[in-house]
Structure 1
């Protein structure tokens, strides 16, 4: 554990004066004005790659984060695609560190490909983590267009020694795995990781290797996923292709993370916002990684009081396969709030396979099986309801236990809900076709206060109809009796929109209420 981050305060530099002024030759000499700490940022986003697979949402992530920083009055240097060379990135970062004074903050955000390679000194570190820039190629000199984690660490040491705070935000990943495979009907997957080999010599010179460990004092790391995870680009109805972690970070800067509304975002508040929000947006495929473990009260960003207003609901984009174009258009025309997507390269929120009677999400999960055209209305209503729900910035951390993998028929699913506020906990489920299931509290004795964590290792089992259930948890100050009566009336009916509206009604009237969403995917075998 690193030593505590120094609390820096301005000192009055007036010689030996003990008050705000001193006398020199009979005249009053005013003390120099106190310099307020400054924050500057370097924001990088790369879609275009010379040799690696292009990305679709990294530039949009960078633009969104730069906009959010700009609203906080943070001077920002933005490097996109071909501008984001190794020389430009490291040169800008070095200049910012050199010019910064003790107490200043430098923010560096990166959206693009990441990778791992064999450690330069395996006796110290088996693997090096890297960020891969647009001009990267396997051969020299292009293989020099990458930055090794040890090079970042060297700059962290310099900044820490000066008393300059560094905040790193990485929306990239390495060559890990995912719990659930991506159905190809969702379209070509876009992952922010690449496996690569250096061929014909390395254009980078000697780089000092550092043993893995916590960051130096005053350095904070925020990463989109664990080292063992791959980070997918997601498709949202309002924003198109994006990184879930970048969306959450930009929302956090706009006020979403300022939970106590004191005008400051702390290290702890960022973690508490980014983890559930990223998991909800990515349907549980990502688990952000933060360091250091402590110093949760450290203030990082000054923001305006009050959270960002929720996004406006958007229509659901539907692609139909296995059906004639005119029939698909007629079908979509009967579905309220649905726009038909015709071209394969256009993003779709849902893909319905008419031949197999299955629906696939943009994230690549089979979310409904055995669903014919007569039941698509319930599925579409559920997806619109989820858009409204997620717009309200989910803040409860929910997990399927023991992990997020797809369940086979008959397998048990456990559930954990973290951060319950000590009041009432309500849990409901939206099945793949939009059917509402009121789950908790349903029985005598369950209507009791829950503090900290709700945990049930035998919460439910995977049974037909298979697909994706979305479990919704609501933590409220008092027992929401009217909501429970409403959910009982909606139980086992395909009225997902009405159920979510009832939940959001409690959220609107209870400032301390919090919500969370957890996807559970089940398949026949």
Structure 2
């Protein structure tokens, strides 16, 4: 039996705690990036393939390496994929009062030469714009403060000093574009807290719980954009009342799109109640179409599901969206087309080989 995976998921995770020339951060920052990577690649949680998840920690996270990582992400993430970028580390506010902007502070940032050694919001936004994926989600966990000691400045011990954090207009800039969204750990005038001795920051603790299934309250088998932010936004203030509020920015996002599997793609009984224990309460063709659109969002070509079930892709019409492609393909199959060997049962059984724990598939009965 093949493991359940989410092959369209791609991610770049960056964590910097030990800076070369700037005030260091708690070790939890490195755990944040490591644990998000482990959760994304776990077959029991999000199902991303390991080769699609790149992590840059401390000395690996130079300005050049981060920009290269973003460029590489743009190269491998296709149009119908999902791309996530996670950064845990310092941000710095630059520019004159009234025209302030922000930069991402990499491990080799020199406060005496910010323009050439950090990543400006314009550079970051431009790099994100090169990603072809229709679904791009950016996570920013900065600036950080441990316990009651809150530092809102970056210093290098040589007289150079900047206010730490990100401006609101930077958040907006990073979310520009169709299908682009940003989730930040706190508002521009707040700090992202790390409790003394905690493995992760408060924000990333909530994010990890959400990705591990807590955000999938309907038991759909997927972690979705709005659901994830709603969970994080409700959970963080429980631990930091009145002082930390996660931020959501999106320029042109209409759909509550899936970004990962939830608990390996398992659906709950609640989510499948409309199908019924025997599958008789819903038309089996409609139930199968709904499941296939979720599991193979690119359409019948996704993971070669149609061909593996005995179908002939050349018999299918081209459609611009996976949902339209599935609707057309199943209509053709119902009429006896789509290839000599493919049947409803063959398509259902091949899907079950990929997603054995998917509750909707397991209760569908061939007509």
TM, length-normalised to structure 1: 0.42
Structure-2 change in CA distance of 1:55 and 1:306 (3 Å): farther
Match of 1:259 among 217, 225, 238: 217
CA distance in 2, matches of 1:139, 1:193: 15
Q: Alpha carbons of 1:87 and 1:285: their partners in 2 closer, same or farther (altered >3 Å)?
A: same
2:258 to 296, 299, 302: 299
* Corresponding residue to 1:68 among 36, 39, 52: 39
Aligned to 1:235: 196
Unaligned segments of structure 2, at least 5 residues: 1-5, 161-168, 269-367
When Rg is computed on C-alpha atoms for both structures, the one with the higher figure is 1
Aligned pair count reads 244
Superposed CA RMSD: 3.3
Q: Is the 8 A contact 1:47 1:55 kept in 2?
A: yes
Q: Conserved in 2, the CA contact under 8 Å of 1:191 and 1:231?
A: no
Residue 516 of structure 1 corresponds to which residue in structure 2? Answer: none
1:365-514 correspondence runs (5 A) = none
SS of the residue corresponding to residue 194 of structure 1 reads: strand
Q: How does 1:335-346 map to 2 (within 5 A)?
A: none
Does the C-alpha gap of structure 1 residues 157 and 228 become closer, same or farther in structure 2, counting only changes over 3 Å? same
Counterpart for residue 59 of structure 2? 82
Q: 2-side partners of 1:230 and 1:37: how far apart? A: 35
Q: TM-score, normalised by structure 2?
A: 0.59
Change (3 A) 1:46 1:110: same
Measured against aligned partners, the alpha-carbon deviations of 1:167-196 in whole angstroms (never above 9, x if no partner) come to 11010139xxxxxxx9xxx97726586378
Deviation at 1:103, TM superposition (A): 0.7
The residue that corresponds to 2:178 in the other structure is 217
Secondary structure (helix, strand or coil) at the match of 1:235 reads: coil
SS at match of 2:13: strand
Q: Distance in 2 between matches of 1:290 and 1:146?
A: 24
Gaps of 5+ in 1: 1-35, 175-181, 201-208, 308-525
What SS does structure 1 have at the residue aligned with 2:196? Answer: strand
Q: Report the Cα distance in structure 2 between the residues aligned to 1:135 and 1:188, rounded to whole angstroms.
A: 28
Which aligned runs of 4 or more in structure 1 are off by greater than 6 angstroms?
195-200
Higher relative contact order (CA 8 A, sep 6+): 2
Asked if 2 retains the 8 angstrom alpha-carbon contact of 1:192 and 1:231, the reply is no
Q: 1:231, CA displacement in angstroms? A: 2.2
Bigger proportion of residues as strand? 1
Hey, what does 1:451 align to over in structure 2? none
